[in-house]
Amino acid sequence: MVLDPTKHADWEIAEDAEKNMKTVYELAEKLGLEKEELLPHGHYVAKLDYRKILDRLKDKPDGKYVDVTAITPTPLGEGKSTCAMGLVQGLGKRNKSVVGAIRQPSGGPTMNIKGSAAGGGLAQCIPLTPFSLGLTGDINAIMNAHNLGMVALTSRMQHEANYTDEQLAKRNLRRLDIHPKKVEFGWIIDFCAQALRNITIGLGGKMDGFTMQSKFAIAVSSEIMAILSIATDLKDMRERIGKIVVAYDRQDRPVTTADLEVDGAMTAWMVEAINPNMLQTIEGQPVIVHAGPFANIAIGQSSVIADRVALKIADYNVTESGFGADIGFEKFWNLKCRYSKLKPNCAVIVATIRALKCHGGAPIPVPGKPMPEEYKKENVGWVEDGCQNLIHHIQTVKKAGINPVVCINAFYADTDEEIKAVRRLGEAAGARVALSRHWEHGGDGALEFADAVVDACEEKNDFKFLYELDTPLSKRIELIAKDVYGADGVSYTPEAQDKLKRMEADPEMKEMGTCMVKTHLSLSHEPRLKGVPKGWTLPIRDILTYKGAGFVVPVAGAISLMPGTASDPAYRRIDVDVETGKVKGVF
C-alpha cells in the first residue's frame, strides 16, 4: 500500500517505498547493461563504468534530451526535482524507456533549510539516506582534491618564506613568488558555515604555516565540482585540473596546480568519482546521480558524462538544471550544451500557483515559518500578475530555439480557476501547458505532463547559443543581463572593471564560457524584487577565473560562495533509530 503524502513525511514515504526497491542488478538488466559495466555499492546503489558503456554503444543513436528548469522560485523551492522524478515516472507509465539524470545534493542544504533535493511525495529518488548523506563519496573526493591543492599552495608559500633560492633548489623547488594578497583559492567544506567565510591561517611560529587571510566556500562551489560536471573523460579531467589557477605571483602571472606539481595527486582523488551513480525512483525507473554544483554560485548541472550515458541507454533522458531559467537553464544552454555538444529536444518550466502568487503581490514566504494565510485563498489576479515571470522564462527558453513545456506542479490547495489562468497565459506565450499531480499520485498523476513532453520532443527545434565564444566578455555579460535577466545594462566596481580589461586582453579567456553568479530568488540581483523587475542595472562586483573548468565567473550583487545556516535548520529534526540504524527526518 502506498502511503498518503498528505499524511506522511517524505522520508516516511521513501522508507516505505524502499521495501520494494529493485536491486541494481535488476535495473542494469532492464537497461541492457553488461555485468562489467556495473560497479555495485551494495544492493541498491551502483556506479556505472561510463567508458565501457559509451564505447560499446558509441554507434547507437541518442535518445530524446529533456531539461527541467523553473520560474523564479520562492525561498521554499517549487519542486523542480520532484517534477523531474514525476516526469520520469510518468514516462515510465507510458512504457517509455527513460532515465533521470540529476545532481547529488550538498550536505549544506540537506542539514539546513532546503532539504536534500530527492523530490517529494510520491515522486522521489531512493534510497533516500544514501542519496542525501554522501552517496558513494564523490563530494568527499572533491573536498580532498580541492583542499590538497590548498595544502600544496600554503606549504609552498611557507617554504618560500623560510628558504633562500639556493635552499629551494636543493629541494628541487623553484620560487613561484606567490603574492599573499592575490590568492584565488580557499578551502572547502560541504556545510553552510558562515563563520568560515573569512579566516586567518598560519598563526603561531614559522613552522606553523604562512600567516595570511583565507576563506572557506561550500564544496559544491569548488572548481573541481565544475570540472566533474563538464569533463568528458578522465583525460579531459586531468588536463583541466592542471589548469586551475590558485593564485597570482608578484608580477601578476597565474600560478596553477601544475606549477605546484599537485595536479596529478588531485586527480588521483577523482578517479572513482568520475563514474556516475545509479539509483531509482520510487516506481523503479533508473536515475543517474552525478555532480552537484549550485546554479546561483556555480554551473548548476549534473554531469555531461551522466547525460551522455543516459542518452545511450534509454530513449528519454530527463535532466535538471538548478533554480530558474535565468540561472540554471541559461548555463545549461550556453555552457553545458556547448561543452557536451548535445542538443536538447525540450525544456520543462516548472511553475507553482504559490510562486506565481508571490510574483503577483502575495507576501514572500519565509522558510521555517507558517505559510501566510493569503496563499490558502483563491486569488486569480495575483496568479495572472505573477504569470509575467513565467512568460519571461518561456521567452528565454524560446530564445534558445527549444520547445517549452510548462508543468503546473499542483498543490492540493490550488483552485481550478487559478490553474485555468496559468494554462491560458502560458499557451498564449507559445508553450505547451500541462497540469501534473505527481507529488500526490506518482506516475499516474504525471500522464498529461509526460504526454506534453513526448509531443514537444517530436517537434523540430532550432537550438542556438546566446553568444559565440569570440564575443567579448563585456558583451556576453551584457547579453545575459539584458536578454535573460531583463536588465537595462551592467555596471562594474573598479576592481571588476580592471579584471574585465585584463581578461579581454588575454587570448585564453576568449575561449572560456561565462558562468554568472547571481541570486536565484529574483530575475535581478536583488532577492526581494519579484515578478519581472524594470529599470534596473546589474552590478558586477568581481570576476573570478576558473581556467580549469573553462569559465569566467562574473559575480553580481552581494551573493556569497559560502551560504549560512539558519536558526531552525533541518539537522534539529534528523536522528537515527539506534536499534535498526535507520536515519529518520531527512527530507
Write out the catalytic residue numbers. Answer: 80, 82, 103, 114, 295, 323, 411, 439
Position of cell 521513501?
14
Give the C-alpha separation, 247 to 79, whole Å.
39
Check residue 480 and report its DSSP letter. Answer: I
Check residue 505 and report its DSSP letter. Answer: T
What are 448's three cell numbers?
A: 498529461
Taking phi over 0 as left and psi of -120 to 50 as alpha, with beta for the rest, 355 belongs to alpha
Query: Please, are residues 523 and 486 in contact by the beta-carbon 8 Å criterion?
Result: yes
Strand-pairing partners, residue 239, are none
Give the C-alpha separation, 85 to 399, whole Å.
26
Query: Please, are residues 517 and 297 in contact by the beta-carbon 8 Å criterion?
Result: yes
Taking phi over 0 as left and psi of -120 to 50 as alpha, with beta for the rest, 377 belongs to beta
Dihedral angle computed from the Cα positions of residues 165, 168, 169 and 170, in that order, rounded to the nearest 10 degrees: 130
> Residue type for 221, please?
S
What are 174's three cell numbers?
A: 623553484
DSSP string, 144-193: HHHHHHHHHHHHHHHHHHHS-HHHHHHTT-----EEEEEE---EEESS--
What are 66's three cell numbers?
A: 529533456
- Helices and strands: H and E segment counts in the chain: 21, 25
Phi first, then psi, for residue 210 (nearest 5°) are -90, 125
Give the C-alpha separation, 4 to 10, whole Å.
10
Check residue 548 and report its DSSP letter. Answer: T
Instruction: Give, in degrees to the nearest 5, the angle at Cα 390 between 438 and 405.
Output: 50
Using the Cα atoms of residue 54, residue 56, residue 61 and residue 64 in order, give the sign of their dihedral.
negative
Strand (E) or helix (H) holding 571: none
What are 152's three cell numbers?
A: 600544496
Strand (E) or helix (H) holding 243: none
